[in-house]
Amino acid sequence: MKEAKNSLWVRLTWAFNPLTLKDAYKARVKNFWLHWFPPRIMKCSVSWSYSFWLGTISGVLFFITLVTGIILMFIYIPSVERAYWTIEDLEFVVSFGWVFRYSHRWAGHLMVVAVFLHMMRVFYTGAYKETAQTESYRYVNWIVGVILLLGTLFLAFTGYLLPWDQLAMWAVTVASAIGKTTPVVGEGAYSLLVGGTLIDQPALIRFYTLHCIALPVLAITLVAYHLWRVRKDGGLACVANLTQENREELTVPAVPIASRRFFLVALVTWIVVLIATLLFRAPLLEPADTSWTPNPAKAPWYFLWLQELITFTTIRLGDYTINGGFVGGVFIPGVLFLALAVWPFIDKSPGVATSKWFHSSRLWQNIIFTIICLSVIFLIAFSYYCRGPYWEVYLPWNRPEIPGRF
């Protein structure tokens, strides 16, 4: 028994299965990787069914994109002549290149989904609201979260251009032209982002730098602050009447309960990404060509709801026309995101609604929020499956395929 206790394996893993409470507390003091866990954690904070651990899942997916992204950076060359061919190399020449490319892509796409679901969870549980007992500023974390959602979308978008194939070229042409239609600042922002009047080498290097350095640094900083704030606000927004008497009953030692669950969530997330990698290829069309637009040209799926909106939001008042790109592509999403960011100040529901799934006092705002979320999801699905050549509507099973140029 004594020998087993001293074996390297036991020494490395003792924190996951401490035999005494003292051992459990000691773990977070002695182990660097565990030191950011609190000594004890609310039972509801580690509950599976309260948070579904969506924040952790988003974080793990982000970590996977960082690691795979760094590996891709060793191979990829951000030049219009060579970018496409280095992606081909990753696909056909580099050993396991496809694993890293596909994992990076699927982790990125799943991150968009996970971050969106995380936001929905926080909204439905009213977790941006203050709890009576602790001095907390949870609305700050909500706003940081909204910025991180935008950051995730922008990271995904800037990554979309890098393969420099027809899919990338036209998705980015459409999406950046949407920004260009903003009055006053649109033209300036467009030339700042694209570095010219058309999508060419300056655009590629700008997107590359944003995707690989500027946005990840911003995201890492904000994620760190986001997590630190969770600790400062007293854990997840589910603090009951915590007193000296019921403390033992409502909390558990964070190590090993929370740490074990964290590693389990990380492992399952990684497995899901690997399965997606093995089952689904990442698309790569022919090299980018400005003179020929594929028919239909679709934006990345997480922007398809915007592409659908701009299709029917061009407003004509006599001779005066407002480009749908502005109404559906900038104004409507702008208002939605602004409303999202300031919602904690609009939401006047009582404190008891905090941390309760679908609390009755928040019925109406939950209904409005659900309608908006479902509309976005519906528009994405409709656009993805039903839009065919020349952006006309077809049933998904008899959508004609227009042959490519070759």
Quick check: 79 binds another protein (CB under 8 A)?
Answer: no
The alpha carbon dihedral of 107, 110, 112, 114 has a sign of: negative
Binding mask 157-176 for another protein (x = CB under 8 A): -------------x--xx--
Rounded to a whole number of angstroms, the distance between the first and last alpha carbons of the chain is 71
What is the Cα–Cα distance from 184 to 180, expressed in whole angstroms? 10
Tell me which residue of 286, 309, 82, 291 sits closest to 175, measured CA to CA.
Answer: 309
Show the binding pattern over residues 205-234: x = contacts another protein (CB under 8 A), - = does not: -x----------------------------
Nearer to another protein, 132 or 192 (CB): 192
The distance from CA 85 to its chain's CA centroid, rounded to whole angstroms, is: 28
Cα separation, 146 vs 123, in Å, equals 11
Residue 59 or 328 with smaller CB distance to another protein: 328
DSSP per-residue string spanning 21-63: HHHHHHHHHH-GGGTTS-SEEEHHHH-HHHHTTHHHHHHHHHH
Residue 191 interacts with another protein (CB under 8 A)? yes
Q: Per-residue x/- mask for another protein, residues 93 to 122, rule CB under 8 A?
A: ------------------------------
3-state SS class at 369: helix
Which of 312, 364, 397, 406 lies at the binding interface for another protein (CB under 8 A)? 312
- Whether cis (ω within 30° of 0) applies to the bond prior to 296 is yes
Decide whether 188 or 396 has the Cβ nearer to another protein: 188
Residue of 52, 85, 150, 202 interacting with another protein (CB under 8 A): 202
Q: Which region among 27-35, 76-84, 288-296, 349-357 touches another protein (by CB under 8 A)? A: 288-296
User: 256 preceded by cis ω (within 30°)?
Assistant: yes
Give, as ranges, the residues between 336 and 395 that touch another protein (CB under 8 A).
389-392
Q: What b-and-e string marks burial along 64-100, b requiring 16 or more CB atoms within 10 Å of the CB?
A: bbeebbebbeeebebebeebbebbbebbeebeebbbb
Interface residue with another protein, options 12, 33, 36, 196 (CB under 8 A): 196
Q: Is 322 in the site for another protein (CB under 8 A)?
A: yes
* Binding residue count for another protein, defined by CB under 8 A: 41
Asked if residue 47 binds another protein (CB under 8 A), the reply is no
**SS3 call for 289:** coil
Which one of 185, 198, 278, 338 is in contact with another protein (CB under 8 A)? 198
Among 91, 130, 187, 200, binds another protein (CB under 8 A): 200
Secondary structure letter of residue 327 according to DSSP: I
Among residues 307, 354, 355, 365, which is the contact residue for another protein, using CB under 8 A? 307
Name the residues that contact another protein, by CB under 8 A. 170, 173-174, 177-178, 180-181, 188, 191-192, 195-198, 200-202, 206, 290-297, 307, 310-314, 321-325, 389-392
